[in-house]
Structure 1
Amino acid sequence: MGDSTSSLNAAVVPLGSGLPTREELLIHYPAKFTWTELKTFVNSGDLGLLKRDRKLQKRYNLWAEGIKEKFGTIVNYLMNFRLQWGKPDTLSLLGSAVQDTGMSTPPVFERISTDELSVPRELPPLPADAPAYFSESTPPQYISIIQNDWPYSVPPEVEHTLIWTRIPIFHPALVAESVRARVELDGLWGFTGNISPPPSPSNLPACLPALAEWGMTLDKMIKSEKGTAEEDELVRIAGLPVHNFVKKRWVETEWETAWFVNPPRLQSVPGLAHIHVFARHK
């Protein structure tokens, strides 16, 4: 029964190219990870465990080549087209159950015209009164909240959202010197909307089979040595502004989230900060 149903669904939802639809993700790229496994990977200390479906990654790579031909670079595409600074995300094929309020400020600059797509443009300098670091009170014009067009292999009930910001997330005022190297290697992460603690990293061996096709094993993990309680608290403080922003947007009575900020070694667009949020409606 299951095989015939899958065949029927695949026939009804043909496999396309370019940005995937939600139906394509459900049928052709079914989730490899459960919600518990996803939270375990986030809490493991190595954010590199979080993966996109390998077939979807190949599709992304082909799409990215076309984007580079049209826009010059992925960064140019993001800054001048995809990111909707200060405005709701109107370009996503995946959609979100969260409705942004207050995101109606003018864009940072007008989007490039169709005959100048490949001309690189930098974002204008931040004004003198811009916040020093990202927080729950960062003005909307410095933020673009979009659905990840190429989500990781998350369960169908989980939204994968990206919060792009022109305001730094890693800042000396937040990251104590004693944990700077640790944060630069591991990044930041946290959980909201659940009174129970997140899955312990000790549960990771039981979750690793879900990463078998990526060849991930415990000995391949990249993470800092376990820190002291004081160091753990300093890392928590460094991530508190992001944590508070996530709590404010994904109301805890309605949503459970796992969020993270990749360390520099894993950032896809160096110099333009962004936060990943996995959000599951209760």
Structure 2
Amino acid sequence: MGDDVLATPNAATVPLGSGLPTREELLVHYPAKFTWHELKTFINSGDLGLLKRDQKLQQRYNLWLTGVKEKYGSTANYLMNFRLQWGKPDTLSLLGSAVHDAGMSTPPVFETIPAEDLSVLRELPPLPADAPAYFSESTPPEYISIIQNDWPYSVPAEVEHTLVWTRVPIFHPGLVPESIRARVELDGLWGFTGNDSPPPSPSTLPACLPAPAEWGFTLDKMIKSEKGTAEEDELVRLAGLPVHNFVKNRWKEGEWETAWFVNPPRLQSVPGLAHVHVFARHK
């Protein structure tokens, strides 16, 4: 029993640091504000802005971001010049992952650049003629960078928060017809894998509102499209199917349950470079 107590992280054994947080710091100093059920409810509600980072962790992030901008010039420069590891496993995360990718050994798209040039934004090279038109489960690894979110949202400790960055588009005219374009541009895309039961109904959102109360969220502040027709709902589902299949293939449904989303283009942090948020819980 004594060994168990000593092995349990607490504020005395895990001092609060600065910069990128460790998993132990997240567990002790930034405990989850959202349950897995609440997380799925928020994603399925249609307003992805419901997902938040712990407010104290957000303050730490803001301080870290100031240093990043001083060194790299911008968040985009940091991602493009350092953090994204195209076609390679994520070796920079302090959080780690239980998922290990096979075949992620393609030479990086970019060569290492001198330290003095880190503040110059490195442009994405043009996609070759044989590049896929849009992101899917068959996208070659050289167009993908899968990393852990160094600053995860306030999710349970057993939930991994992964980012899948892709050089090929997720929102593509071949997937998003004009009839749903405005809806997708406002709401983004989302889905769930690894569970035979349907996700929580958006109608149950009011019961989950105590969780995001400290962020000042109320129902009247929701930003989402009006409910669409059954035909429109099916078109949205089909638009997200390539991402859904990628998530399902990487996080095997017999082992993992996931909730994923793609921010709408208006919220992309690097224009022209899309990414998927994946929340994965081992069964």
Letter in 2 for 1:133: Y
The residue that corresponds to 2:155 in the other structure is 154
The residue that corresponds to 2:74 in the other structure is 73
1:89 has 2:90 as partner = yes
Q: In 1, Cα distance between the equivalents of 2:207 and 2:138?
A: 39
Task: Within 5 Å, give how 1:28-39 maps onto structure 2.
Answer: 28-39=29-40
Q: In 1, Cα distance between the equivalents of 2:73 and 2:190?
A: 32
Q: Superposition RMSD on alpha carbons, in Å?
A: 1.4
- Please give the per-residue CA displacement for 1:159-206, whole angstroms capped at 9, x wherever unaligned: 000000000000000011111100000000000000000000011000
Report the CA distance between 1:117 and its aligned residue.
Answer: 1.8
The residue that corresponds to 2:164 in the other structure is 163
The residue that corresponds to 1:220 in the other structure is 221
Secondary structure of the structure 2 residue equivalent to 1:10: coil
Q: Which runs of 5+ in 2 are unaligned?
A: none
The residue that corresponds to 1:206 in the other structure is 207
Q: State the aligned residue count.
A: 278
The residue that corresponds to 2:42 in the other structure is 41
- Please give the per-residue CA displacement for 1:2-21, whole angstroms capped at 9, x wherever unaligned: xx99xx81121111110000
Native 8 Å contact 1:48 1:266 kept in 2: no
Native 8 Å contact 1:81 1:112 kept in 2: no
The residue that corresponds to 1:239 in the other structure is 240
The residue that corresponds to 2:231 in the other structure is 230
Q: Which runs of 5+ in 1 are unaligned?
A: none
The residue that corresponds to 1:145 in the other structure is 146
Letter in 1 for 2:34: F
Identity of aligned residues (%): 86
Native 8 Å contact 2:40 2:200 kept in 1: yes
Q: In 1, Cα distance between the equivalents of 2:272 and 2:213?
A: 32
Native 8 Å contact 2:80 2:121 kept in 1: no
Native 8 Å contact 1:143 1:164 kept in 2: yes
Task: Within 5 Å, give how 1:46-125 maps onto structure 2.
Answer: 46-125=47-126
Native 8 Å contact 1:17 1:59 kept in 2: yes
Report the CA distance between 1:114 and its aligned residue.
Answer: 2.0
Secondary structure of the structure 2 residue equivalent to 1:70: helix
Q: In 2, Cα distance between the equivalents of 1:267 and 1:77?
A: 15
Report the CA distance between 1:271 and its aligned residue.
Answer: 2.0
With normalisation by structure 2, the TM-score equals 0.96
With normalisation by structure 1, the TM-score equals 0.96
Letter in 2 for 1:173: G
